[in-house]
């Protein structure tokens, strides 16, 4: 309870009504605009002018001014009063007689001449139709309960007469009536019912003992009534007899009730109870002594005790809601707000509703009910900066945001809210992280993107949150100026670098990162920061930066640093890439890096440029030379590794300057193999083999040389044969006496291994006579095999070619199997004479010629030409009689 | 939030009837709030609006007390489904359905469907003792969780009362028989109506056993009623001022 929905304001005090006359009581009231009419038990009608005046406390007061009073002269209480303002009439029920008085003068209206008049006799109760069916604005409809029979009559009341419209009888005596359209809602002795007075259709509602308890039938809206039900209930029923709202539980002895949306106001003898129609709960209860009358007039709820009149003034909806909110009764406040929706203009409702939702959100937030809070914030479309501003230092000082006024919550800031409880602060921060994460990027937070991102950044940094880097890696609008001190404070230098990057300050980012990588600043975010920087430079499109900072990277680790150049995209777009020449010049100071870069160019990207190849070969050579000369003998594998690389390059590349390298190698006896290779490159095979055979005595290398040197030649097989013969001659040509045996063995091995590659005839001619057949058996075997193989292969090829040729001929004939026209008017292509007989020969191209002409021609060509192509031509152009077809169509 | 939905107009009405203390409010509460809690005796009635697909279904929870009996027919008026609830441990509660509550349904729709629901099945059926909804197990800490006291309804002395499990007073056959009598009372043909085994339920609001099944079966069954009501409304003689269709423009001739 404890909502203050209404305030009871005195309207007409006792002394103004009856002075000190103790036995005079208020019997009925009517309020029409500012006019208040009070009927008393001494048959007076008092007329007051009721003015609303603002009170000092902010509410309203009423000041009543008595305009007049009128004695009706019947000495009976005035039972009921109803105003018909359009007619300027008051309908008065007094002493069982219903009649009209003038609203202004209170004079009884004389009956119109003729029938009926303006009086109805024998009336116990009446009501006006709140939903008139008559379209004439200058009449009102009333329903009257007659005292004599069990009848209800419906009248139309005009300025000076009443007219009976309908009379219906009921099963029991009705005691209370209410009228809406054609529907009479009646309280009978034992039940309520709805009666359509035109059709006579009736609908029982529910039993109610009207003798035991006072029935109430109150029209509360279009075709809807509020009824007092057994068990102290206020039941709602519509004209169809259906209850569409849950009942309210007021009390057993309710005297009067009214609806002032969204509340049901009920008057009991000693109190007024106010229930919400939205959740059926009792919302407020006001003490009210000697309660007598409760009626609503055009939305204004007026009450009367026996001696005085009061107005029940509803407090503004906003105030009620705020009262609920200040009592942390969020749900109820929202129910009230949403329930009031139909009564508030749409745009105003939206503003109000949003604000209430936001306030509700902050209430839940203050109680650390974050899930609910988030839901309210979302529904209330909270400006997220309202929430951020609660957290000290999160909003950038440049933000133009000022908190909503009046404030949505009573908190100065988070510390105020948490009262120093660090756990609470932490939970609030975690909530903000998740909340900002959820609103980030949505339409709602568009206007405050900078604030949201910056606040998130700060929170992430402070909480050491893993999403910090994700935030910075994505598209963000964090404010650099505001965030950088914060990130520095929390030693998030890597993140700060990322933020610099986001703001296009790559150079600043690099400087910062280098300081971290050098250990000048402490930030353990990325243990592999150096590699990260290298990576960054690798993909950095700004060459200035690359030139500026690569030096540092190369100094630190040339092998990794060189990746800046080697791993740069070698794709099609070379426009933004550094020129290799520039890089090589740049790398002058960093020779290991330069070597790696050249290897990258030559070996990986296979750039065919003499300069790089020569430079790489020279560098390799220098490396080998320095290792050879090295004062401390190098590690065993190192030299051979270096030489292998050199040799491989010398062998595989054709671009380097051979003479330059030969010159550099001059005087170095250890690099004979390399020199042999270089001689080979110069096609000086004799010299090369000489080195290999006589100086190095490395026969397997010599053999390998032959194969290698011939492999690059255009006429591989022939060249190889030549080289092998050269080597064989060198072996057989002898040398020093003591090596003769070795050389001969090498010769035999060579022959036996490469038997098929030699020209056997030539070999046999140079072999010494004394060699045994057994010794050369593998060679001979291979040679013969090769020869036989070659012969058979060529025969096979010949046969296949013939077959193919035949097939082609066949295909061609099939293709061209068309009739060939021969007539007396066509001439032979060879002699240009016409044909006289059907025997012709057809040349390729379906050209018919005389048989004697082709015979002549063939014998000629056989005589003249013996060229290579002749035989095939013969086959090709052989006359084929089968294909000729005689046709003498004409 | 059900409060907002109160602003919407319900398409169809489901009413829960039954003697006091059989667990009508608890059933509704279990269904809507997914939990069981001790409720106080319902005063008058209450209702809840359930969004079921595109439709709004109002579920009326009525008061079982004799005092409010007269209101029952108001709630039933125009109902598309009535849930007649008894307590499986109380034979009397089943008898009351027939004696007191069946006549209230006279005001319901002529095609209204009826479900006979025996609540508190957890007291008699071991299957009903397991929480039906793993996300909201039966509350443990509340009073009365221990040995649950069977209904306060009068128990015929003939019932064998074993100390372990409370006696089941009402068997399924009896409920099915009542269903048959309901149909007869309504003048409905048993063959063309929904069969008893589909329309008799044993539920437990405490554990949630069969509660969703009950409501959702009914909602699905009342859908035709909604559609029928909608088409009727379309033929309503009321002029809909908002639903104004511009007549096809006719060119106005000169003179």
Residue pair B114/B86 in contact by the 8 Å Cβ criterion: no
Q: Does residue A460 carry a pLDDT above 90?
A: no
Alpha carbon B23 to its chain's center: 11
Q: Which residues pair with A139 in a beta bridge?
A: none
Is the pLDDT higher at A374 or at A683?
Answer: A374
Give the one of B63, B68, B77 whose C-beta lies nearest to A241's C-beta: B77
3-class secondary-structure state, position A169: strand
DSSP A153: E
* B67–A230 CB contact, under 8 Å: yes
Assess whether pLDDT exceeds 80 at residue A221. yes
Q: Report the 10 Å Cβ neighbour count for B201.
A: 23
Q: Do B3 and A339 touch (CB under 8 A)?
A: yes
Sheet of strand A248-249: strand arrangement: A217-221, A224-229, A233-238, A248-249
Cβ atoms of residues A194 and A181 within 8 Å: no
What is the per-residue pLDDT for A569?
62
Report the range out of A34-43, A653-662, B133-142 with the highest average pLDDT: A34-43
pLDDT at position A503 over 80: yes
- Interval A147-154 mean pLDDT: 86
Query: A152 near A143, Cβ under 8 Å?
Result: yes
Those residues of chain B whose CB sits closer than 8 Å to some CB in chain A are 1, 3-4, 6-7, 10, 43-47, 63, 65, 67-68, 70-71, 73-75, 77-78, 107
CA distances from A356 to A132, A334, A728 (A): 39, 7, 105
Q: Give the pLDDT score at A607.
A: 78
Task: Please give the span between the terminal C-alpha atoms of chain B, in angstroms, as a whole number.
Answer: 62
Which of helix, strand or coil describes residue A382?
coil
State mean pLDDT over A28-33.
90
pLDDT score at B165: 54
Range name among A270-279, A747-756, B59-68, B124-133 with the lowest pLDDT average: B124-133
Question: Is there a contact between B70 and A278 if contact means CB atoms under 8 Å apart?
Answer: no
- What percent of chain A is predicted at pLDDT more than 90? 11
Q: How far apart are CA B113 and CA B225, in angstroms?
A: 10
Query: What's the whole-number mean pLDDT along residues A356-364?
Result: 89
When CB atoms are compared, the residue of B4, B68, B77 closest to A242 is B77
Residue A231 CA to residue A242 CA, distance in Å, equals 19
Phi, psi torsion values for A101, nearest 5 degrees: -125, 155
Which of B1, B43, B47 lies nearest to residue A233, judging by beta carbons?
Answer: B43
Quick check: B67 and A235 CB within 8 A?
no
| Partners of A97 in the β-ladder | A94, A121
The DSSP call for residue B190 is T
Bond prior to A406 in cis (omega within 30° of 0): yes
Contacts of A890 (CB under 8 A, 6+ apart): A823, A825
Query: Best of A231, A338, A372, A379 to disrupt the B interface by mutation (most B CBs within 10 Å)?
Result: A231
Query: What distance in Å separates the CA atoms of residue A160 and residue A504, rounded to the nearest whole number?
Result: 90
Q: How far apart are CA A261 and CA A249, in angstroms?
A: 17
The structural domains of chain B, ordered by start, are: 2-138+166-234 (3.40.50.300)
In this predicted structure, what is the pLDDT of residue A885? 44
Chain A residues close to B4, C-beta within 8 Å? 338
Nearest to A176 by CA among A192, A168, A167, A187: A187
Query: What confidence score (pLDDT) does residue B2 get?
Result: 36
pLDDT, tens digit (0-9, with 9 covering 90-100), for A836-859:
877 888 777 777 888 888 888 888
Nearest C-alpha of chain A: how many angstroms from B13?
A: 10
CA distance B43 to chain A (A): 7
Rounded-to-integer distance, Cα A103 and Cα A30, Å: 11
Those residues with Cβ within 8 angstroms of residue A224's Cβ, 6 or more apart along the chain or in another chain: A180, A236, A237, A238, A239, A244
pLDDT digits (tens, 9 = 90+) for A96-119: 888 889 888 888 887 665 445 678
Task: Work out the percent of chain A whose per-residue pLDDT is above 70.
Answer: 94
Q: Which residues contact A806 (CB under 8 A, 6 or more apart)?
A: none
Chains A & B: contacts with CB separation below 8 Å: 73
Task: Give the helix ranges, DSSP H, for A404-542.
Answer: 414-418, 422-439, 449-463, 467-473, 480-489, 493-502, 506-517, 529-538
HSE-CB for B202 with a 13 A CA cutoff: 21
- Of A858, A850, A862, nearest to A877 (Cα)? A858
pLDDT of the residue at A792: 94
The full set of domains in chain A, from first to last, is: 6-315 (2.130.10.10), 821-883 (no CATH)
Amino acid A889: pLDDT: 41
Low-confidence winner among A9-13, A400-404, A502-506, A731-735 (lowest mean pLDDT): A731-735
A6 touches A314 (CB < 8 A): yes
- How many CB atoms sit inside 10 A of residue A308's CB? 20
pTM of full prediction above 0.95: no
Give average pLDDT by consecutive 10-residue segment, chain B, 255 residues: 47 90 91 84 82 87 84 86 92 90 87 91 84 50 43 44 59 90 86 85 91 92 81 56 48 49
Task: Compare CB distances from B71 to A206, A278, A331 and report the shortest one's residue.
Answer: A206
Chain A: nearest CA to B91, how far in angstroms?
A: 27
| ipTM for this model | 0.73
Question: Contact B179/B196 with Cβ under 8 angstroms?
Answer: yes
Mean pLDDT of A396-409: 83
For residue B86, the distance in angstroms to the closest alpha carbon of chain A comes to: 23
Instruction: Measure CB to CB from residue B74 to each of A231, A235, A342 and give the nearest one.
Output: A235
Interface touch A229/B78, C-beta < 8 Å? no
Collect contacts of A555-560 with beta carbons under 8 A, ≥24 apart: A555/A590, A556/A517, A556/A530, A557/A530, A558/A590, A558/A592, A558/A593, A558/A596, A559/A592, A559/A593, A559/A596, A560/A530, A560/A531, A560/A534
Backbone angles phi, psi at A585, to 5 degrees: -60, -45
Give the confidence band of A121 by pLDDT, cuts at 50, 70, 90: confident
A281-297 mean pLDDT: 88
Please give the average per-residue pLDDT across A208-225, as a whole number.
88
Mean pLDDT value of segment A574-579: 68
Averaged pLDDT of chain A: 82
Q: Which residues on B lie below 8 Å from A335 (Cβ)? A: 3
Max distance between CA atoms of chain A, in angstroms, equals 173
> Looking at residue A257, what is its pLDDT?
92
How high is the pLDDT of residue B68?
82
Contacts 24+ apart (CB under 8 A), A761-767: A762/A725, A763/A725, A763/A728, A766/A728, A766/A729, A766/A732, A767/A732
What is the three-class DSSP state of A225? Answer: strand
pLDDT band, residue A37 (cuts 50/70/90):
very high
Q: Which tens digits make up the pLDDT trace of B146-204?
A: 445 444 444 444 444 444 555 667 888 899 999 999 998 888 887 788 888 889 999 99
Burial A592-602 (b: 16+ CB within 10 A, else e): ebbbbbbbbbb
Q: Distance (Å, rounded) from C-alpha A498 to C-alpha A494?
A: 6
> DSSP secondary-structure letter at A124?
E
- Give how far A516 is from chain B: nearest CA, Å: 50
Those residues with Cβ within 8 angstroms of residue A609's Cβ, 6 or more apart along the chain or in another chain: A580, A601, A655
Note the residue count of chain B: 255
A57, A48 contact by CB (below 8 A): no
What is chain A's length? 890
The span from the CA of A25 to the CA of A208, in Å, is 29
Look at strands B113-119 and B81-87 and give their pairing. Answer: parallel
**What is the predicted pLDDT for the residue at A134?**
83
Q: Are A410 and A328 in contact (CB under 8 A)?
A: no
Beta-bridge mates of residue A265: A258, A274
User: Which residues, in sequence order, are CB contacts of A798 under 8 Å at separation 6+?
Assistant: none
Query: Contact at 8 Å (CB) between A785 and A812?
Result: no
Of A85-89, A588-592, A795-799, the poorest mean pLDDT is in: A588-592
Q: What's the average model confidence in pLDDT over A657-662? A: 80
Q: DSSP string spanning A254-278?
A: --EEEEETTEEEEE-SSEEEEEETT
Tell me if B74 and A208 make a contact (CB, 8 A cut-off).
no
pLDDT at residue A631, as a whole number: 64
The predicted-structure confidence for A785-820, as pLDDT tens digits, reads as follows: 888 998 999 999 999 999 999 999 988 888 777 777
Q: Quick check: A646 pLDDT over 90?
A: no
Looking at the complex, report in whole angstroms how far the Cα of residue A155 sits from the nearest Cα belonging to chain B: 26
Mutate to test the interface with B, among A187, A227, A232, A247 (most CBs of B within 10 A): A247
**Rounded Cα–Cα distance for residues A474 and B142 (Å):** 51
Element (H, E) at A348: helix A346-366
pLDDT > 80? residue A417: yes
CA distance B60 to chain A (A): 8
As a whole number of angstroms, the distance between CA A884 and CA A875 comes to 17
């Amino acid at each position: 309870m404890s909502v203050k929905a209404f305030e009871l304001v005195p309207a007409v005090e006792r002394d103004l009504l009856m002075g000190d006359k103790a036995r005079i009581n208020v019997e009925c009231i009517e309020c029409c605009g500012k006019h208040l009419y009070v009927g008393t038990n001494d048959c007076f009608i008092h007329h007051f002018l009721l003015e609303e005046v603002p009170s000092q406390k902010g509410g309203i007061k009423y000041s009543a001014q008595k305009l007049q009073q009128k004695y009706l002269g019947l000495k009976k209480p005035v039972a009921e009063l109803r105003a018909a303002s359009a007619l300027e009439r008051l309908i008065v029920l007094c002493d069982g007689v219903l009649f009209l008085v003038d609203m202004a003068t209170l004079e009884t209206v004389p009956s119109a001449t003729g029938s009926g008049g303006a009086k109805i006799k024998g009336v116990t109760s009446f009501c006006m139709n709140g939903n008139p069916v008559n379209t004439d604005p200058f009449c009102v409809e009333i329903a009257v309960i007659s005292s004599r029979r069990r009848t209800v009559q419906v009248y139309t009341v005009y300025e000076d007469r009443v007219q009976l419209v309908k009379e219906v009888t009921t099963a029991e005596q009705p005691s209370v009536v209410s009228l809406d359209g054609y529907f009479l809602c009646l309280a009978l002795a034992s039940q309520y019912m709805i009666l359509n007075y035109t059709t006579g259709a009736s609908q029982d509602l529910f039993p109610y003992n009207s003798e035991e308890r006072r029935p109430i039938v109150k029209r509360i809206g279009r075709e809807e009534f509020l009824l007092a039900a057994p068990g102290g209930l206020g039941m709602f029923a519509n004209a169809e007899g259906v209850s569409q709202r849950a009942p309210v539980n007021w009390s057993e002895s309710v005297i009067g009730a009214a609806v002032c949306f969204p509340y049901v106001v009920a008057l009991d003898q000693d109190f007024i109870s106010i229930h919400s129609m939205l959740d059926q709960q009792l919302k407020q209860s006001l003490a009210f002594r000697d309660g007598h009358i409760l009626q609503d007039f055009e939305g204004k709820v007026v009450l009367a005790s026996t001696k005085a009149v009061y107005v029940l003034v509803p407090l503004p909806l906003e105030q009620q809601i705020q009262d609920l909110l200040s009592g942390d009764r969020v749900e109820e406040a929202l129910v009230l707000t949403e329930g009031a929706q139909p009564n508030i203009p749409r745009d105003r409702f939206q503003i109000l509703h949003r604000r209430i939702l936001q306030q509700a959100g902050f209430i839940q937030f203050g109680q650390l009910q974050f899930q609910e809070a988030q839901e309210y914030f979302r529904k209330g479309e909270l400006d997220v900066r309202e929430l951020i501003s609660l957290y000290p230092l999160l909003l950038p000082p440049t933000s133009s945001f000022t908190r909503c006024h009046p404030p949505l919550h009573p908190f100065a800031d988070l510390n105020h809210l948490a009262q120093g409880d660090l756990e609470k602060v932490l939970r609030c921060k975690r909530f903000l992280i998740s909340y900002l994460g959820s609103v980030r990027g949505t339409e709602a937070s568009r206007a405050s993107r900078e604030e949201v991102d910056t606040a998130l950044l700060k929170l992430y940094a402070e909480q050491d949150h893993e999403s910090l880097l994700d935030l910075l890696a994505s598209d963000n609008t964090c404010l650099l100026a505001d965030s950088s001190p914060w990130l520095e404070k929390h030693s998030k230098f890597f993140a700060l670098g990322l933020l610099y990057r986001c703001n296009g300050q790559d150079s600043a980012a690099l400087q910062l990162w280098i300081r971290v990588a050098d250990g000048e600043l402490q930030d353990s975010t990325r243990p592999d920061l150096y590699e990260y920087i290298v990576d960054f430079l690798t993909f950095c499109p700004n060459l200035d930066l690359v030139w500026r900072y690569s030096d540092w990277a190369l100094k630190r680790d040339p092998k990794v640093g060189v990746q800046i150049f080697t791993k740069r995209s070698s794709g099609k777009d070379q426009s933004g890439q550094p020129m290799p020449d520039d890089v090589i010049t740049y790398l002058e100071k960093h020779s290991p890096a330069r070597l790696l870069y050249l290897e990258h160019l030559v070996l990986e990207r296979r750039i065919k440029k003499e300069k790089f190849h020569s430079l790489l070969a020279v560098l390799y050579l220098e490396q080998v030379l320095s290792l050879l000369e090295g004062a401390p003998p190098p590690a065993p594998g190192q030299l051979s590794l270096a030489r292998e690389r050199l040799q491989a390059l010398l062998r595989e590349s054709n671009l380097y300057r051979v003479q330059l390298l030969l010159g550099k190698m001059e005087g170095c006896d250890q690099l004979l193999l390399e020199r042999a290779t270089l001689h080979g490159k110069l096609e000086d095979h004799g010299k090369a083999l000489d080195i290999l055979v006589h100086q190095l005595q490395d026969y397997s290398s010599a053999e390998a040389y032959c194969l290698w040197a011939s492999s690059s030649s255009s006429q591989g097989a022939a060249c190889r044969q030549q080289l092998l013969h050269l080597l064989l001659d060198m072996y057989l040509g002898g040398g020093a006496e003591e090596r003769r045996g070795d050389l001969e063995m090498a010769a035999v091995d060579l022959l036996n291994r490469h038997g098929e590659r030699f020209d056997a005839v030539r070999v046999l001619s140079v072999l010494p006579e004394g060699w045994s057949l057994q010794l050369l058996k593998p060679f001979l075997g291979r040679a013969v095999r090769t020869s036989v193989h070659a012969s058979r292969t060529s025969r096979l090829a010949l046969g296949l070619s013939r077959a193919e040729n035949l097939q082609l001929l066949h295909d061609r004939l099939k293709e061209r199997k068309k009739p060939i026209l021969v007539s007396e008017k066509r001439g032979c292509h060879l002699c240009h004479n016409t044909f006289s007989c059907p025997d012709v020969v057809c040349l390729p191209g379906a050209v018919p010629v005389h048989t004697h002409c082709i015979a002549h021609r063939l014998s000629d060509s056989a005589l003249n030409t013996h060229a290579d192509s002749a035989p095939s031509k013969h086959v090709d152009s052989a006359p084929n009689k089968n294909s000729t077809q005689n046709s003498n169509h004409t | 939030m059900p409060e907002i939905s109160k602003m919407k107009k319900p398409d169809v009405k489901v009413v829960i009837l039954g003697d006091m203390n059989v667990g009508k409010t608890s059933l509704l509460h279990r269904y809507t709030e997914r939990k069981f809690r001790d409720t106080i005796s319902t005063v008058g009635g209450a209702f809840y609006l359930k969004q079921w697909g595109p439709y709004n279904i109002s579920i009326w929870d009525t008061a079982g007390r004799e005092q409010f009996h007269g209101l029952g027919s108001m709630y039933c008026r125009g109902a598309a489904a009535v849930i007649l609830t008894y307590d499986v441990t109380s034979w009397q509660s089943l008898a009351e359905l027939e004696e007191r509550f069946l006549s209230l349904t006279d005001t319901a729709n002529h095609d209204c469907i009826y479900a006979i629901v025996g609540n508190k099945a957890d007291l008699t059926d071991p299957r009903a003792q397991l929480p039906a909804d793993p996300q909201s197990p039966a509350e443990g800490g509340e009073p009365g969780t221990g040995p649950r006291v069977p209904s306060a309804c009068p128990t015929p002395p003939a019932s064998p009362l074993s100390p372990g499990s409370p006696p089941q007073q009402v068997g399924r056959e009896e409920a099915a028989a009542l269903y048959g009598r309901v149909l007869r009372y309504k003048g409905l043909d048993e063959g063309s109506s929904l069969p008893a085994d589909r329309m008799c339920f044993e539920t437990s609001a405490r554990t949630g056993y069969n509660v969703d099944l009950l409501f959702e079966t009914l909602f699905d069954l009342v859908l035709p009623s909604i559609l029928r009501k909608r088409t009727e409304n379309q033929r309503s003689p009321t002029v809909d001022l908002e639903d104004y269709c511009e007549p096809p423009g006719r060119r106005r001739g000169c003179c």
